Amino acid sequence: MQTVQVKLAERSYPIYIGKNIWSLLPQKLQTVLPLTTALLVSDSNVYPLYGEKISAALTAAGWRVTPAVVPAGEGSKTLARAEELYTAAIKAGLDRSGTVVALGGGVVGDLAGFIAATYLRGVPFVQIPTSLLAQVDSSVGGKVAVNHPLGKNLIGAFYQPKLVWIELEVLRTLPRAEFLAGAAEVVKYGVILSESLFSTLERHWQDFLSQEERLLAQVITECCRLKAEIVAADEREAGQRALLNFGHTLGHALEAATHYDYYLHGEAVLVGMMLAVQLALRQQLLAPAAGGRLLELMAKLGMKPAPPALTAAAVLTALQQDKKRAGTKQPFILPVKIGQADIFANIPPMLVSSVLQEYLN
Ligand SMILES: NC(=O)c1ccc[n+]([C@@H]2O[C@H](COP(=O)([O-])OP(=O)(O)OC[C@H]3O[C@@H](n4cnc5c(N)ncnc54)[C@H](O)[C@@H]3O)[C@@H](O)[C@H]2O)c1
Ligand SMILES: [Zn+2]
């Protein structure tokens, strides 16, 4: 089992990573939390696979566990679902020492984290991420949120968990498209932060896809370590943490312009990353050879074609709306060499429109 420490003074916490480590969970929980009541939040896909197992293990260790299962999918990240979970918490007798445990992908993690941050002004929170995206990204760093009808993640908080438990075995049941979508975020870390992670992925891509145990553990641990380092330096995204939005500027615009029902998040981010590489190449910020390597690895994830009816104008409008919300110029995060990216505020809109147009054609 590997451990990564997220260093945030009194809010520091460990991330445990390994294969078939379930049996160690109760013992590790006891080192950070009192033994009390747990609200086990999960979704309708994940709970039937792993919910009973976790619940039984915690119960055997002396916890009082109440499961709360929401329908799988982004549609559950709402205030209405949150209210149902508050009701479940009250009925389960969860007091200030009670714990909210999230068992699932990023949807469950964000929703359960939001509950934990607000119920009784905050109760302890534990993440058991089960999608690749949640394991390398959303479970680490303390961003929790629900959606509003007018936009994604508009209502939320920074609220760190007490512990993150990454069981690699669960990725076996994750649908392949979801694994690839999470893999886009893995590639992202290599591109912007670590040449060595990037070249490991280049050399061992097939082993990574087939979830070869040692490689998978090494890669996921490295992603968590990289994210933990950034979060420790910039918890509230005042600076460096914004680099993690590489590929997300155009990615979010594509998701919004297709009403969040065409791309998986990672699929849109992959397109956004490839377009960002194009922007960097056209602006001569990145050497052609490096750009070629970046695009080659990204292409292995399988770039999703745009839906036929999507226009550049619609994507650019979505981009503008995003910008308005941020209240500033829309910055682009662009790679300058393998393992390093910077924030650029002055990318010509014509250029953005032109790389977008090439993708749409
Ligand atoms: N808080 C953050 O920092 C942060 C970062 C990135 C993304 N997010 C959020 O994360 C969400 C996306 O997360 P996601 O991609 O994990 O989506 P998700 O939670 O919807 O999970 C994807 C699908 O896989 C299923 N699933 C999950 N684990 C499984 C397993 N082990 N076996 C079988 N099926 C499994 C889920 O039921 C779901 O159908 C979005 O809401 C996004 O806003 C948050
Ligand atoms: Zn993302």
CA–CA distance, 135 with 154 (Å, rounded to integer)? 22
Residue 352, pLDDT > 70, answer: yes
- Band of the pLDDT at 330, cuts 50, 70, 90? confident
Nearest ligand to the C-alpha atom of residue 248 = 2
Around ligand 1, the residues with Cβ closer than 6 Å are: 43, 45-46, 49, 72-74, 77, 104-108, 110, 130-131, 133-134, 137-138, 141, 143, 153, 170, 173-174, 178, 265
- Mean pLDDT, residues 341-346: 94
Q: Which domains does the chain have, with CATH numbers?
A: 2-173 (3.40.50.1970), 176-360 (1.20.1090.10)
Q: Is 28 a catalytic residue?
A: no
Residue 198, pLDDT > 70, answer: yes
CA–CA distance, 212 with 193 (Å, rounded to integer)? 23
Nearest ligand to the C-alpha atom of residue 186 = 2
Q: How far is the CA of 84 from the centre of ligand 2 (A)?
A: 27
Q: How far is the CA of 345 from the centre of ligand 1 (A)?
A: 31
- Nearest residue CA, atom 21 of ligand 1? 105
Nearest ligand to the C-alpha atom of residue 103 = 1
**Which atom of ligand 1 approaches the CA of 131 most closely?**
28
Q: Is 225 a catalytic residue?
A: no
Q: Is 227 a catalytic residue?
A: yes
pLDDT tens by residue, 115-156: 999 999 999 999 999 999 999 999 999 999 999 998 899 999
Q: Is 11 a catalytic residue?
A: no
Residue 275, pLDDT > 80, answer: yes
How many of the other CB atoms lie within 10 Å of CB of 140? 28
- Mean pLDDT, residues 265-281: 98
- Nearest residue CA, atom 42 of ligand 1? 106
CA–CA distance, 75 with 86 (Å, rounded to integer)? 18
Cα 220 to chain centroid distance, Å, stands at 12
CA–CA distance, 212 with 162 (Å, rounded to integer)? 29
Residue 102, pLDDT > 60, answer: yes
- Mean pLDDT, residues 7-15: 93
CB 48 within 8 Å of CB 197: no
Residue 27, pLDDT > 60, answer: yes
Active-site residue identified among 81, 252, 255, 267:
252
Active-site residue identified among 227, 235, 255, 267:
227
Question: Given ligand 1 and candidates 22, 70, 110, which is best to mutate, with the most ligand atoms within 8 Å of its CB?
Answer: 110
Q: How far is the CA of 101 from the centre of ligand 1 (A)?
A: 15
State the pLDDT at residue 325: 58
CB 77 within 8 Å of CB 107: yes
Helix, strand, coil percent content, the chain, rounded in steps of 5: 55, 20, 25
CB 132 within 8 Å of CB 183: yes
Amino acid letter, 21? I
Cα three-residue angle 58-63-65, rounded to 5 degrees: 80
Q: Is 74 a catalytic residue?
A: no
CB 62 within 8 Å of CB 35: yes
CB 4 within 8 Å of CB 139: no
Strands 125-129 and 143-148: unpaired
Q: Which residue has the tokens 């080659």?
A: 296
Average pLDDT, rounded, for the chain: 95
Helix (H, G, I), strand (E, B) or coil at 296: helix
Q: How far is the CA of 38 from the centre of ligand 2 (A)?
A: 29
pTM value?
0.96
Q: Is 361 a catalytic residue?
A: no
**Which atom of ligand 1 approaches the CA of 181 most closely?**
15
